[in-house]
Copies of this chain bind each other. A is one copy, B any other.
Amino acid sequence: MTRQQIIENIKRKKSFLCVGLDTDIKKIPQHLLTAEDPIFEFNKAIIDATAPYCIAYKPNLAFYESTGVSGWISLEKTVKYIRQNYPDQFIIADAKRGDIGNTSAMYARSFFEHLGVDAITIAPYMGEDSVTPFLGYNGKWVILLALTSNRGSHDFQLTEDHSGNPLYKNVIAKSSEWATDSEMMYVVGATQGELFREIRKVAPTHFLLVPGVGAQGGSLEDVCKYGMTKDCGLIVNSSRGIIYASTGTDFAAVAAAEAKKLAEQMAALLPF
């Protein structure tokens, strides 16, 4: 999906919401457990209910890998289901991969060719040749970790170099030389508040994938105040706050209501 298509989807739907599919067999409603593939049944219901209010889905690989082969089957079915029924949705594999060149090339094959998602999250620690093998796929995106939403983000990402530049800024500055804003985005946690202002100094036009609204406590207003661009420039994710809003038989309807609520807040904050 191109940058222009993403922007058009945001304009049309008045939403920049991404629904995180962190689907945990231990957390989904009891009544689904008798289905042949409970994870897929849950995802399907969540997707059908929330699709009008979001522009992206983000399956979190850890949750699928936790059951090995059967989890991968559920994941492949989920991606295929979105593709066939909601072709305007941007699909992000939240995988946080990154390895030496030949291995990253295999991961790229896995996610872009085999699984067929639009984007993958990548960890920058191993540098340029761990990231560039994911580039050059037409219409596909690398979403590089910059400043994450968790407490541990302060351990290394804020460490300043001799010039006073924190690591996350060096990651953005250096990686901007590897790819344009039409093939790379950055992960910036909603919990980082005013630091979005710093991010926009080094990435004025890039889209940012923003986790941490909801269960993790980030503020949508702050994210928009400090992070929004004229093209929106934000894809804000909510996972647990939407998909586990109810654990009863009404889970899909309640998820839809939560997604709608977030989308309405977003509509009011959009610049167009």
Q: How many residues on chain A are close to B (CB under 8 Å)?
A: 60
Indicate if A183 sits at the interface (CB-CB under 8 A).
no
Task: Say whether A115 contacts B68, CB under 8 Å.
Answer: yes
Indicate the member of A96, A125, A130 with the most B CB atoms within 10 Å: A125
How distant is A62 from chain B, measured CB to nearest CB, in Å? 4
Question: A106 an interface residue at 8 Å Cβ cutoff?
Answer: yes
Residues in B whose Cβ lies below 8 Å from that of A125: 123-125, 145, 148, 156-157
Residue of B nearest to A129 (CB): B152
CB distance from A271 to the nearest CB of B (A): 29
Render A88-112 as a binary contact track against B, CB cut-off 8 A, 1 for contact.
0000001011111111101101100
A127 within 8 A of B: yes
The answer to whether A66 touches B107, judged by C-beta atoms less than 8 angstroms apart, is yes
The answer to whether residues A98 and B69 also contact, given A156-B167, A170-B159 and a CB cut-off of 8 A, is no
Q: Which residues of B contact A145 (CB under 8 A)?
A: 125-126
- List 17 A-B pairs, Cβ < 8 Å: A60-B99, A65-B107, A66-B107, A66-B110, A66-B114, A69-B69, A69-B73, A71-B110, A96-B98, A100-B211, A101-B150, A123-B125, A125-B145, A127-B151, A128-B155, A131-B152, A159-B167
Q: Which residues of A contact B (CB under 8 A)?
A: 22, 24, 60, 62-63, 65-69, 71-73, 76, 94, 96-104, 106-107, 109-110, 114-115, 123-131, 145, 148-157, 159-162, 167, 170-171, 174, 211, 216
